[in-house]
Chain A
Amino acid sequence: MRFAFRRAGFFLLTLWIALTINFLLPRLMPGNPALAMVSKFHGQLNPQALHALEILFGINTQTSLWQQYVTYLHNVFTGNFGTSMSFYPASVRSVIGGAIWWTVGLVGVATVLAFVLGTGLGIVSAWRRGGQLDSVVPPVFVIASAVPYFWVAMVLVLIFGISLHWLPYIGGYNVSSDTPSLSPSYFGDVLSHALLPAAALLITTIGTWILTMRNAMITTLAEDYVRMARAKGLPGRRIMLDYAARNAILPNLTGFAMSLGFVVSGAILIEYVFNYPGVGYMLLQAVSGEDYPLMQALFLLITVAVLVAILIADIATALLDPRTRTAG
């Protein structure tokens, strides 16, 4: 229990720091980037929306920095992120609401698949050390881990989209021939558009799982209790899964959460290459349109999502591994 409180405390601290970074960044930048944006929209916004913007970026206000900070925190916790400048007059919240499910679907599914497949391959590869799998897998995936995500996406686009015409490679669905509805044709459209981006994400992230799991397995296989199990004559598969893998997977689990930050980064670039309408793509749009309210909100969203995932993984690890509880 104490462990859970510690972790929750850490989570809250990090959340607070992320919020504060978000608040301070535009004020720290040279030349106040938001000023241009506010002046651009001066004629088009109603006074309340303009005032909200000014509060968000601390322009033209007579209040102290602390007062602005408190108002900012209050707005964040009531879900008021202001109006989007590039999707004006839609509110930031509604814009994000439309995009988030695309990313959750794509990234969530691809990551789980990568974790599952990668961990499995890592286990087998470590078990058969020196064998064929092990001599091929580590070097291949070491190299794969250094390949930029967006390049893999581009290669997939080139081969499967443009040269072979097997799969669509732009957007989440075909906007001019399909409307979002509960029809099989729409689902099929969504699925076919999701295949290539998911494949890109899978290829680039699976290497991490394979190798981390493999390394952890190898370390675990050197432990005494494994040798004991072997001496006792237990079947190999049982040792591999029940003794070694179960213990080796734990560092992988927390590593899973930590690497979620990287997965999210990769997803941003993959969405960009595929014009996939998720939050990553939206973040880049916000950047090019100097839509700072949207950009800030997306950054917060991504950070919070990663934090929550880490928290969950930590608690799961604590539940599964007594060692971390005593050490913490």
Chain B
Amino acid sequence: MRRLRTTGVLLAAGLLAAACSSSSGSGSSSGGGSNSSAASTVTISNEAGQLWSCGFSPYNGSTNFLSTGFVYEPLVFVNPLQNGKTTPMLATAWTWGAGNKTLTFTIRKGVKFNNGTAMTPADVVFTFNMLKKFPALDLPGDWAVLSSVKQTGSDQVTMTFKAPAVPYFYYIAGQTPIVPAAIWSKIANPVTYNDPHPVGTGPFMVNPCTGQNITYTANPHFWQPGLPHIKKVQYPAFTSNNTANDQLANGQAQWGSQYIPNIKAFYTSKSPDNHYWFPPTVNVSLVPNLTNPLLANVKVRQAMSMAIDRAKVSSIGESGYEPPANQAGIVTPTFSSWLDSSLTSKYNFSFNPAKAKAVLASAGFHPGSDGIMVNSKGQKLAFTVINVGDYSDWVASMQVIQQNLKAIGIQLTPNNLAAPSFNAALYSGKYQLAYYDQQSFGPGPYYELRNWLDSHNTAPIGKTAVSNYERYINPAVDKLLVTYAGTTSTAEQHSIVRQLEQVMLTQLPVIPVVEAVDWYQYNTGKISGWPTPSNPYAQPAAYAYPDMEQVLLHLQPK
């Protein structure tokens, strides 16, 4: 029939148009066969919620996870999962000077950038001073503690500190990728520089990038001989979790960094080579606004902490992926060696609704006619809690917490916000309770605790607090944190952390509920060398930088 034939033409035309114009990035790729049939190709499945902009600046917060580690390298690799175990990278050795006020690195010789030019200490000095000149670039925050960086000797660079800041080794040595001075010195404004063809010392180069996919190929000038064994890495852009999960489930991606619901049915059951591991990193906590008069009462917070069934939040809200946290704020098993179990048994916050009710009673609260606890002044324990609406596991966790607290007479009304609104409310302190985790992770509990407890990280209500959202101010704790920063003695560090745990257990500035994890799936069918719980040589998520470099260097075809 005539009509059908026209329809057939329309069908073809429509899909032709779709096919031709579908690439929305910087033009279609050269159609190079990206079929990962070769065993030395690894495809990553990490949903970033956006198409790639094909910018690779290592000092731009939205693109650095695509280049730091793949293309750029830091001086030292510091493994947060092994209590800060160090692996020399662009620096071969380092020493702390007197009073820990200087740090001298010996820079490795014979390292080349991927365009063949040599990497020298001058590049290191340039990189640090560029961060000083353009504070917007200083993502690691090095210049908060540094006063100068100079070349001292033919292959040595010395950093001078304003005051001792030993923990900052992680940021300075481990989180500051080195860029070539020859290229970056010519950029007028590196803050807006896109860096579309990144030149670094790392094992891979970008070749090519489209909006839908980034292909990394091995750097022929890489300073570690014979490495990488993996010759190609594909990093497709996913805008939804489902698509990314599907790629893992059907085996097209081997390295996943995804939240997968019901992972056994979805992923591990599909193949005996599919594995996953979720190493805990930081606490996801119920964050009280300590300027709220009711929440300022420590007994109210104690009751809350005792009333939350953390095991249930973990199993129901997080499908068991995120283990229950402890009120001491120490993430286990990652930092178990820091946890003082005598303290946690002394201040016991395990699930005990009866005890919670007793604590509330001792604070002068009794159940009102509607079941909500109220005090003699008529103030009710009814709060709103803001949450990131996009994270359905957090929304589900909050439902469990809501039910737990309802059982002891505290009413929670969740307010699920989109990320920008949530951040605005959290940073400015315009909330009563919030559910959140710290966004940065370090090789010890100090890093997270400092984020929560250091009064320099907070701000009055209405102004932006950097990480101390609950508005906790305690000069004694500030002093402890400063002392920690000045020492390299592990014994002293442990003693200070123990005191910080005491603060967490007695003052409850925040209430940790579960432990956030690195999302990590891997397929051992054709590739070996993956990080595992028994061999946690790096943070295993593909979005962890610069750890993914270590993973890629360990991987090899079977």
Contact = CB atoms under 8 A, between A and B. Distances in A.
A–B touching in complex (CB under 8 Å): yes
Interface of A: 33, 36-37, 39-40, 43-44, 46, 86-90, 94-95, 97-99, 101-102, 104-106, 108-109, 112-113, 116, 170-183, 186-187, 190-191, 194, 275, 277, 281, 285, 288-290
Which of B28, B50, B423 gathers the greatest number of chain A CB atoms within 10 Å? Answer: B50
B255 to A, nearest CB: 11
Contacts, number: 153
Contacts of B136: 43
B234 interface: yes
Contacts of A97: 21, 24
Nearest to B16: A187
B24 A116 contact: no
B1 to A, nearest CB: 9
Nearest to A291: B420
19 contacts: A43-B136, A46-B192, A90-B53, A99-B24, A101-B21, A105-B15, A109-B11, A175-B236, A175-B238, A176-B43, A176-B234, A176-B236, A179-B28, A179-B31, A180-B23, A181-B31, A182-B19, A186-B19, A289-B49
Contacts of A44: 61-62
A44 B55 CA distance: 14
B418 A288 contact: yes
A210 B192 CA distance: 57
B4 A194 contact: no
Contact of B424 (A39, A89, A104, A194): A39
B212 A179 contact: yes
B391 to A, nearest CB: 11
Nearest to B215: A179
Contacts of A95: 24, 51
A77 B237 CA distance: 32
Interface in B10-26: 10-11, 14-25
Contact of B7 (A116, A181, A190): A116
Contacts of A36: 420-421, 423-424
B239 A98 contact: no
Contacts of B252: 174, 176-177
Interface string B378-400: 00000000000010000000000
Interface residues of B, number: 58
A187 B11 CA distance: 12
A94 B26 CA distance: 10
B43 to A, nearest CB: 5
Contacts of B51: 87, 90, 95, 98
A291 to B, nearest CB: 9
Nearest to B60: A44
Contact of B21 (A33, A87, A98, A113): A98
B243 interface: yes
Interface stretch (B32-40, B286-294, B321-329): B32-40
A260 to B, nearest CB: 16
Contacts of B21: 97-98, 101
Contacts of A105: 14-15, 17-18
Given A36-B421, A175-B213, A86 B49 contact: yes
B211 A98 contact: yes
A176 B420 contact: no
A19 to B, nearest CB: 25
B3 to A, nearest CB: 5
A108 B418 CA distance: 33
Given A190-B18, A190-B19, A112 B423 contact: no
A277 B17 CA distance: 14
B415 to A, nearest CB: 12
B243 A170 contact: yes
Contacts of A46: 192
Contact of A277 (B3, B20, B239): B239
A109 B18 CA distance: 12
A289 B239 CA distance: 11
Interface in B50-67: 50-51, 53, 55, 61-62
Nearest to A174: B252
B165 interface: no
Contact of A94 (B7, B24, B34, B420): B24
Contacts of B15: 105, 109, 187, 190-191, 194
B43 A40 contact: no
Interface string B152-188: 0000000000000000000000000000000000000
A290 B421 CA distance: 9
Given A113-B7, A176-B45, A180-B212, 10 more contacts: A43-B136, A105-B14, A109-B7, A112-B7, A112-B10, A176-B36, A176-B236, A177-B34, A177-B252, A290-B418
A266 to B, nearest CB: 17
A85 to B, nearest CB: 8
A109 to B, nearest CB: 5
Q: What are the 10 closest A-B residue pairs judged by CB atoms, nearest first? A: A98-B24, A181-B31, A105-B18, A105-B14, A175-B236, A180-B23, A36-B424, A40-B420, A101-B18, A101-B21
Contacts of A175: 212-213, 236-238, 243, 247
Interface string B209-239: 0111100000000000000000000101111
B242 interface: yes
Given A194-B15, A290-B420, A177 B36 contact: yes
Nearest to A180: B23
Nearest to A119: B3
A282 B246 CA distance: 19
A105 B14 CA distance: 4
Contacts of A39: 424
B240 interface: yes
Given A113-B7, A289-B419, A88 B213 contact: no
Contact of B14 (A109, A170, A186, A290): A109
A96 to B, nearest CB: 9
B44 to A, nearest CB: 9
B19 A187 contact: yes
Nearest to A98: B24
A177 B251 CA distance: 11
Contacts of B31: 179, 181-183
Which of B20, B212, B238, B247 gathers the greatest number of chain A CB atoms within 10 Å? Answer: B212
Contacts of A191: 15
B29 interface: yes
A180 B10 contact: no
B234 A172 contact: no
B253 interface: yes
Interface in B130-170: 136
A172 B29 CA distance: 17
Contacts of A90: 24, 51, 53
A172 to B, nearest CB: 7
A101 B29 contact: no
Contacts of A106: 14, 18
Contacts of B239: 275, 277, 281, 285
A83 to B, nearest CB: 11
A44 B191 CA distance: 9
B247 A176 contact: yes
A301 to B, nearest CB: 15
B66 to A, nearest CB: 14
A275 B240 contact: yes
A87 to B, nearest CB: 5
B50 to A, nearest CB: 5
Given A109-B14, A170-B246, A174-B252, A179 B22 contact: no
B431 to A, nearest CB: 13
A98 B17 CA distance: 11
A277 B212 CA distance: 11
Contacts of A94: 24
Contacts of A178: 34
Nearest to B50: A87
B14 to A, nearest CB: 4
